[in-house]
Structure 1
């Protein structure tokens, strides 16, 4: 079993708001993705390197509401909610074993499609983010080209993802159990601070952070 980082997930009340958030931080535009009919969502995408990308995902207002909670906590967003880097997704070659290694924290394995793409992904039944987005969602793509390979290269690459949480040891144990390797660094927060992520991305305009760092 091998696991590595697959993509970053930005959530927003609508695609324009989410893409404006990313463009303000990185200086580049995203390209069209597609719709997830089972979840009633759609996305736009940004290439971040071989086998890596960023996804802005939102509720699709033209889609039928699904008969279950939408993924990535999207049902909790209101029209005025800010866009944010909400979580990350880890790619594995043995999703059921990786999921079992997480003792149910990441949810159940479910099939999903978008256009010609198909994959298996872990989803909590209530649509929440595992460990408030600090623990990864797991994904296993069907054989074929990775989605990142089909995206235009705009000169952006993910250098590192910092994960800030009050219990980094628990996240580290999960990553070790799923045999994870990749540029993800864990940092301790003092309670009751809210967990958050900070992505370091090389762009045509230099090294940038998402979200814009105020530190």
Structure 2
């Protein structure tokens, strides 16, 4: 299991892209739309097999008739790091090893991309949302389609008051490359990213 991408949720795509550009010195590029969820995104390469996703509700899309992923229906405030996704070679095994509530396997497509993703019916992930969405690409990945940006994810730090319980409940997660799980007063995420302008950090307190 490896980090696939990190997620910046924003009130709208332009605001989110501007925030990332200001923080990292590089602008995300156009992504696409997710008709199942009524969202759209922009993307930024973080290396050959990782990327950053800026995501927002698509104002032109109809109501999806279900809770949106990444707990987006209750998102408010400025753009910030809210979620991440991990790529698993064997989704059945990954879900069996993960804590309960990671979601139901759902097949998705966007343009030439196809993937399976575990999506909680409520849109909410366990442990206050700090755990990753699990996915498995079918063929090419989103990272494969992105041009190098000069940015690389160095470390993703997951903080939670019950960090020890997370490690116990999901040992394979704790062994994920570039992931660090720490005790903190509030659930949160921080991504340390090497950029052309030096090391930068994107962060967010989950649910705030």
When the two structures are superposed, what TM-score results if normalisation uses the length of structure 1?
A: 0.89
SS in 2 for 1:200: strand
Report the equivalent of 2:52: 54
Q: Give 1:179 shift.
A: 8.2
Query: 2:108 matched to 1:112?
Result: yes
> How well do the aligned residues superpose, as a CA RMSD in angstroms?
1.7
Report the equivalent of 2:67: 69
Q: Distance in 2 between matches of 1:49 and 1:171?
A: 27
Cα 1:174–1:117 change in 2 (3 A) is farther
For the 8 Å contact 2:40–2:56, the answer to whether it is kept is yes
Report the equivalent of 2:121: 125
SS in 1 for 2:46: strand
Residue ranges of structure 2 left out of the alignment (5+ in a row): none
Query: 2:161 matched to 1:196?
Result: no
Cα 1:168–1:36 change in 2 (3 A) is same
Count residues with an aligned counterpart: 204
Report the equivalent of 2:197: 205
Q: Deviations over 1:62-92 (max 9, x none)?
A: 01111211111111124xx211100110000
Residue ranges of structure 1 left out of the alignment (5+ in a row): none
Which moves more between the two structures, 123-132 or 152-161?
A: 123-132
When the two structures are superposed, what TM-score results if normalisation uses the length of structure 2?
A: 0.92
Report the equivalent of 1:94: 90
Q: Distance in 1 between matches of 2:202 and 2:57?
A: 22
Report the equivalent of 2:134: 138
